[in-house]
Amino acid sequence: MEKLSSKSSSIDNNLIGIKSMLAKLIPSYLGFGNDIYMMGICGMGGQGKTTLAKAIYYKYSNHFEGSSFIANVREMSEKGKLHKLQQQLFDEILEESDTKIYNVQVGDKKLMDSGLCHKKVLLVLDDVNRKDQLESLAGQHLKFGVGSWIIITTRDEHVLVDYGVLKIYKPNGLDYDNALKLFCLKAFKKEQPEEDYKQLSHKVVEYASGLPLALVTLGSFLVGRTLEEWQSALDSFKNIKRDIYDILKISYDGLEETWKEIFLDIVCFFRGQKKDEVIQILENCGFDARIGVSVLVERSLLTVDDKGCFGMQDLLSEMGKKIIHFESNGELGKQSRLWLIEDLLHVLETNTVRKMTKL
The domain that contains 284 carries what CATH number? Answer: 1.10.10
pLDDT at 175: 84
Count CB-CB contacts under 10 A for residue 333.
Answer: 17
**In terms of C-beta distances under 8 Å and separation of at least 24 residues, what long-range contacts does 258-263 make, across chains too?**
258/287, 258/288, 258/292, 259/292, 259/295, 259/296, 261/287, 262/287, 262/289, 262/292, 262/293, 262/296, 263/296, 263/301, 263/302, 263/320
SS3 183: helix
Residue 33 belongs to some domain of the structure: yes
Residue 203 belongs to some domain of the structure: yes
Residue 127 belongs to some domain of the structure: yes
Residue 135 belongs to some domain of the structure: yes
* Same domain flag for 223 and 270: no
Amino acid (one-letter) located at 84: K
CATH of the domain at 148: 3.40.50
* Same domain flag for 76 and 147: yes
* Same domain flag for 244 and 261: no
- Of 150, 169, 188, the last residue of a domain is 169
Residue 161 belongs to some domain of the structure: yes
pTM over 0.75: no
* Same domain flag for 143 and 183: no
Q: Which of 358, 178, 346 is nearest to 262 (CA)?
A: 358
In this predicted model, what pLDDT tens digit does every residue of 209-258 receive, in sequence order? 788 888 888 898 899 999 999 998 888 776 665 567 777 787 888 888 99
Question: For residues 136 and 320, what is the distance between their CA atoms, to the nearest angstrom?
Answer: 29
* Same domain flag for 191 and 217: yes
Residue 142 belongs to some domain of the structure: yes
**Cα angle 28-31-32, degrees, rounded to a multiple of 5:** 160
How many residues are listed for the chain in this entry? 359
Checking DSSP bridges between strand 37-42 and strand 121-128, what pairing results, if any?
unpaired
Number of domains in the chain: 3
* Same domain flag for 97 and 235: no
Q: Are 287 and 14 in contact (CB under 8 A)?
A: no
Count CB-CB contacts under 10 A for residue 304.
Answer: 14
- Which residues contact residue 38 at a Cβ distance below 8 angstroms, ignoring those fewer than 6 apart? 141, 149, 150, 151, 152, 164, 165, 166, 167
Taking the mean position of all CA atoms in its chain, how far away is CA 169?
A: 18
pLDDT at 241: 55
SS3 202: helix
Question: For residues 78 and 94, what is the distance between their CA atoms, to the nearest angstrom?
Answer: 26
Parts of the chain with a pLDDT under 50: 1-11, 357, 359
* Same domain flag for 94 and 194: no
* Same domain flag for 274 and 311: yes
Question: For residues 83 and 77, what is the distance between their CA atoms, to the nearest angstrom?
Answer: 9
Give whole-number Cα distances, 166 to 15, 40, 124, 248, in Å.
Answer: 26, 8, 16, 33
- Of 196, 219, 253, the last residue of a domain is 253
* Same domain flag for 203 and 243: yes
Residue 230 belongs to some domain of the structure: yes
* Same domain flag for 41 and 146: yes
Structural domain span for residue 79: 13-169
Give whole-number Cα distances, 34 to 107, 113, 125, in Å.
Answer: 28, 22, 21
Question: For residues 204 and 176, what is the distance between their CA atoms, to the nearest angstrom?
Answer: 11
* Same domain flag for 97 and 157: yes
Amino acid (one-letter) located at 269: F
Q: Are 220 and 251 in contact (CB under 8 A)?
A: yes
Q: Are 39 and 60 in contact (CB under 8 A)?
A: no
Instruction: Categorise residue 321: left if φ over 0, alpha if ψ from -120 to 50, beta otherwise.
Output: alpha
Residue 244 belongs to some domain of the structure: yes
- Which residues contact residue 255 at a Cβ distance below 8 angstroms, ignoring those fewer than 6 apart? 263, 295, 296, 299
* Same domain flag for 164 and 182: no
- Of 169, 201, 229, the last residue of a domain is 169
